[in-house]
Structure 1
């Protein structure tokens, strides 16, 4: 089966290059069709490469978004993948495709090797079936090139495009790139141990604590719904109870729901569940509603952390 079919029409390709001007020449022909269709084009590049791509695009560069890589990648890689996949919703024509260029940028704060591996694996899940092309520039002398070939269905080289002979399905490869545990947040602002009878109290507490910050009312409502979904999961699919903890920082409200159940979902909340499915819907909705969602095991059960920034990013 071809790699193009594997992602059901979406494309995720590693673009190998040796110099920024070479990369720019390779990228521009891939960006212009999306620009011609009025579809979104986002290029996350280091400063030198950004300048070369702008030069090669000419006036068309004004229609490309060039966000700061440090800002894009300050959130977990699963969140980055989900945000890029959502760009496909801005496609307005039947033949249009969103295009994202996500360069491997060295030295970004908090981005160890697992960040890039997990981002590439998550993209192979998040973009399936969507009208989107994701191009990931990697240098030809990158020490992680074997990993790049294993996490990208197709490779673009100086001689053309080839299918990766060592590509691995994302669920198979994920075990080699475990996420680092998220940082502890210190003493919480409020907490609640809850059962089914306490969901009303849970919603009230989230709304009350979130209102202490500068969070917009509509974002508070989204956070309340998201936490309610995760709390309901603890009751319906978990042990029947859970613990909610809340923090308010200068930037965001953070809610954490923990229970003693196991959530065996390698890419939680990454894609919408099937209409007939009963698992994963709450996680997907919470991921859609919040700015960041992280799911991990703390050795005793499952923890879901949701972050809602005071203002939309």
Structure 2
């Protein structure tokens, strides 16, 4: 596997037909990572988790096993962002993530394709390896993975295309309608202080910790500023607050042509791209969609 140098994406599909076969295919990578002291996250169904644990023995206690239903309860792009963040936050070594394509409630087949394409964008150049366990009957494996890890070793994914090109086949759906907002404000550049106050008030009313309120205010301020600076000059803020949770939405009449918003860290020089990146890092979920009516950016903070 690759070293993680800039431009490298270490993301492989692991085709399998049975539980024991998959566990045996994953065991060398898992044992190698654990022997090196690297962080390991495994998002596997119960049967596969148990089979892997049996092969690893006592070392299984050092694997962070996560519930697939909880991990994939958020949009695919958010999952990719969170896995990339593990690599950026790692003190040393190389992070290993094991994922699995599964049938889950409210998770369609296109979620996995979007996730795989987003992973390729989000982890580029980072010290992380992502292995995706995929049923060998899945016809999309090669189209959404740069490499396949077969019994004979890695080989190129047949039909693989660059993520921005392939994403056209799997466009992210718009987020669900949240109903009437608790607060709404049309704003221009001069109104940004009011935007910040409204967001802070929503965070306080939801009972968010002060640090999370500050993060949310900064995230929405970045989005609102970008909207009026680089968009049509006016926009609308909508807020929904429930105990422990705030959703903020910034809408304008412009159209954003960014296939993977918030996934790529902007260059250290220059400010363009900073707003979406910060909003993604400072909140729990970032969603962006554009249509003929304009662009909507939604962030969710708990």
TM-score scaled by structure 1? Answer: 0.92
Match of 1:97 in 2: 94
Q: Note the C-alpha offset of 1:78.
A: 0.1
Match of 1:84 in 2: 83
Whether contact under 8 Å (1:10, 1:131) holds in the other structure is no
Whether contact under 8 Å (1:121, 1:151) holds in the other structure is yes
Whether contact under 8 Å (2:5, 2:125) holds in the other structure is no
Aligned partner of residue 132 in structure 2, secondary structure: strand
Whether contact under 8 Å (1:16, 1:155) holds in the other structure is yes
Q: Note the C-alpha offset of 1:3.
A: 9.4
Match of 1:148 in 2: 141
- What is the root-mean-square deviation in Å for CA atoms of aligned residues? 1.8
Q: Output the CA distance in 2 between the equivalents of 1:250 and 1:210.
A: 9
> Which of 219, 223, 229 is matched with 2:216 structurally?
223
Unaligned 5+ segments in structure 2 are none
TM-score scaled by structure 2? Answer: 0.96
Whether contact under 8 Å (2:3, 2:127) holds in the other structure is no
Unaligned 5+ segments in structure 1 are none
Whether contact under 8 Å (1:193, 1:244) holds in the other structure is yes
Which deviations, in whole Å up to 9, do the C-alpha atoms of 1:131-173 show, x marking residues without a partner?
000000011123xx2x210111110122322112321000110
Per the alignment, do residues 182 and 124 of structure 1 end up closer, same or farther by CA in structure 2, a change over 3 Å counting? same
Match of 1:129 in 2: 125
1:267 aligns with 2:250: no
Which deviations, in whole Å up to 9, do the C-alpha atoms of 1:6-50 show, x marking residues without a partner?
973331000011111111111111122322232210000111101
Which deviations, in whole Å up to 9, do the C-alpha atoms of 1:50-99 show, x marking residues without a partner?
10011011111101011110000000000000001111134333xx2100
> Which of 180, 185, 200 is matched with 1:187 structurally?
180
Q: Output the CA distance in 2 between the equivalents of 1:217 and 1:278.
A: 27
Per the alignment, do residues 149 and 227 of structure 1 end up closer, same or farther by CA in structure 2, a change over 3 Å counting? same
Q: Output the CA distance in 2 between the equivalents of 1:141 and 1:214.
A: 47
Q: Note the C-alpha offset of 1:249.
A: 2.3
Q: Output the CA distance in 1 between the equivalents of 2:220 and 2:190.
A: 15
Whether contact under 8 Å (2:238, 2:249) holds in the other structure is yes
User: How many correspondences in the alignment?
Assistant: 302
Q: Note the C-alpha offset of 1:214.
A: 2.2
Match of 1:257 in 2: 250
Match of 2:106 in 1: 110
> Which of 137, 140, 160 is matched with 2:153 structurally?
160
Match of 2:195 in 1: 202
Whether contact under 8 Å (1:24, 1:52) holds in the other structure is yes
